[in-house]
Chains A and B, each alone.
Chain A
Amino acid sequence: RKEVEQDPGPFNVPEGATVAFNCTYSNSASQSFFWYRQDCRKEPKLLMSVYSSGNEDGRFTAQLNRASQYISLLIRDSKLSDSATYLCVAKGDSGGGADGLTFGKGTHLIIQP
């Protein structure tokens, strides 16, 4: 069974701090990985894709460790607006583009003033 595991939190972090969370995935055949962000009572939205070489988008850095089957997200200089639930997502590639994504249950982040 494909699974993606995350620490549900909540992570309470002061504004301006750096916060990092990981997730692990069980399906070694997973090829693509993502972080989605979900605000309270809203739909999930793509935050960033995770590339094998690691990638950075402003204050956000995502990394993939295939050997250990984990993905990380680092947020620097955290803002109040970063408060949300972060969903780790793995996508298997069986040749079709319609594979459903496997979502982690999410990590709840609260940035405190």
Chain B
Amino acid sequence: DVKVTQSSRYLVKRTGEKVFLECVQDMDHENMFWYRQDPGLGLRLIYFSYDVKMKEKGDIPEGYSVSREKKERFSLILESASTNQTSMYLCASSSWTGTTEQYFGPGTRLTVT
């Protein structure tokens, strides 16, 4: 069964803290993605990676960085969290082949106070 897991379902951090969100997939997918989802704004792509150590900016990369040291793991880093980064963060993965369907993790609800 396809599985994408995220390290936390809920996270509360203070302004200025460094925040790590971890995502792991067990499907041997090449591609991994980080989105944030906000009411009225929908899903927006932050960063994606198509291979180990490779990364590409999405639509809203400012204030974020990513790391992909292993194929199965893709980390999103908030160097200095701000209140406008309070959001639902969703990780997804997909394969180069087949339907390229994206499989999503359950999401991390991050609150920055």
Binding site for B on A (CB under 8 A): 32, 34, 42-46, 49, 87, 91, 96-98, 100-101, 103-106
Contacts and interface: CB of A to CB of B under 8 A. Distances in A.
B43 A103 contact: yes
A91 B31 CA distance: 14
Interface core residue of A46, A49, A96, A97 (most chain B CB under 10 Å): A97
A70 B58 CA distance: 24
Interface residues of B, number: 29
A100 B49 contact: no
A105 B42 contact: yes
Given A97-B94, A98-B30, A91 B106 contact: no
A94 B48 CA distance: 15
Contacts of B95: 97
A99 to B, nearest CB: 8
